Structure 1
């Protein structure tokens, strides 16, 4: 559960998890054996942080009573086993498909995701595309940044691998990142460093596309004097 939640607030969330219709301040106070004011303070904090919300009003003796229920964030504050389930799926897929087919499958999966994100990159130049990519990666939890220090070309660095444990066991997972970045930037990608292989960051550098290289070469050739064309 979230570290910012106190032990007493954990108890409140646990009671609400077990009572889907919600509980009132008085009901929570009775079950926790603490004052109504103390419960109100905890509820105010949990509501402010988005873990609980006001539920349906129960009418008792003609008087409406406000109850509180968990939000999605409140439900998700309890332990989940996503990594375990993902590992189970990848193990089965690798057994049935083989490592290369699994890698190709993850490549196709990343391409499908990229298709849904590409409209956000429409009309953007290279620098704008990089900014948008960094924003999307940070929304996913990568804690990404653009490294422009030094004499080498700029690189994309992620200091948090969002599936680090999985990538250590299934290095095919890295194909998902490489493909997604390449498709969104419309550039070939060089994977320079990988946290799953012991690197300090996951580091990617874009390479100019074959079309851009050809256009640059053609432009340079056209600027040569006519005599140079004849010699060549």
Structure 2
């Protein structure tokens, strides 16, 4: 894909973000290319799951075909959710004291533990680790289960959705480690830590 193609598709995405539903003709007129050219880019964006078609039915005449961003496309635009969450937690500390943060993290851990346990049943440890990795993968942690050179089970998380929070409130990581130990009902050690400068978080699960 050329830089020009990438730039045009980005323009289309930004137009839809700012204006909502638009026809190919409207986008072409704004960007300065033909409707056919816009449709070629839209076809690729639809295949990528970033744009969807909406049919607007008129009282008279043919229906109008418009295009909108999908929920998946929202991830392409800057967001400050992490920083906003940090600011809110800092306000809680200021109003209610630092111990309130620990209560919040503990409550979150308890709720997640209940959810995780509900889908694990009486599975053996290796299957519980695999199931936990799949759950965390679905939650955006880019997680995978495996074993180390000694045959111990491992859980690796390549991404951290709460990274901004954990930088400011490192106890968030302590509660996540405790969550894994409680859920798996065994000892869990963290041997790599993104907050400490590693490229990922890696846990060893002892049977």
Q: TM-score, normalised by structure 1?
A: 0.76
Contact 1:182-1:189 within 8 A present in 2 as well: yes
- Shift of residue 146, structure 1, vs aligned partner: 3.5
Aligned to 1:54: 53
Unpaired runs of 5+ residues, structure 2, are none
Q: In structure 2, how many angstroms separate the alpha carbons of the residues matched to 1:160 and 1:25?
A: 37
**Residue 22 of structure 2 corresponds to which residue in structure 1?**
23
1:103/1:175 contact within 8 Å kept:
no
Following the alignment from structure 2 to structure 1, what is the Cα–Cα distance between the partners of residues 119 and 16?
39
Range that drifts further, 132-141 or 151-160: 151-160
Q: 1:111, 1:179 within 8 Å by CA — same for their partners in 2?
A: no
Assess, with a 3 A threshold, how the Cα gap between structure 1 residues 100 and 32 changes in structure 2: closer, same or farther: same
Query: Could you give the per-residue CA deviations for residues 163-218 of structure 1, whole angstroms, max 9, x where no partner exists?
Result: 3333222102113312331232133433344221234532333456xxxxxxxxxx
Unaligned ranges ≥5, structure 1: 209-232
Q: CA deviation at 1:147?
A: 4.7
* Pairs aligned (count): 203
1:100 CA displacement: 4.0
CA distance in structure 1 between the partners assigned to 2:81 and 2:6 by the alignment:
24
Which residue in the other structure is 2:68 paired with? 69
* Counterpart residue number, 2:77: 78
| TM-score, normalization by structure 2 | 0.84
1:33 Cα deviation from its structure 2 partner: 1.5
CA RMSD of aligned residues (A): 2.5
What corresponds to 2:189 in structure 1? 190
Closer, same or farther: CA 24–201 of 1 in aligned 2, 3 Å: closer
| Distance verdict in 2 for CA 1:122–1:152, change over 3 Å | closer
- Structure 1 runs of 4+ aligned residues shifted over 4 Å read none
Q: Deviations for 1:32-76, whole angstroms, at most 9, x for unmatched residues? A: 220122101111011111111111325386122211112212334
**1:144 equivalent in structure 2:** 143
Distance 2:10 2:199 in 1: 35
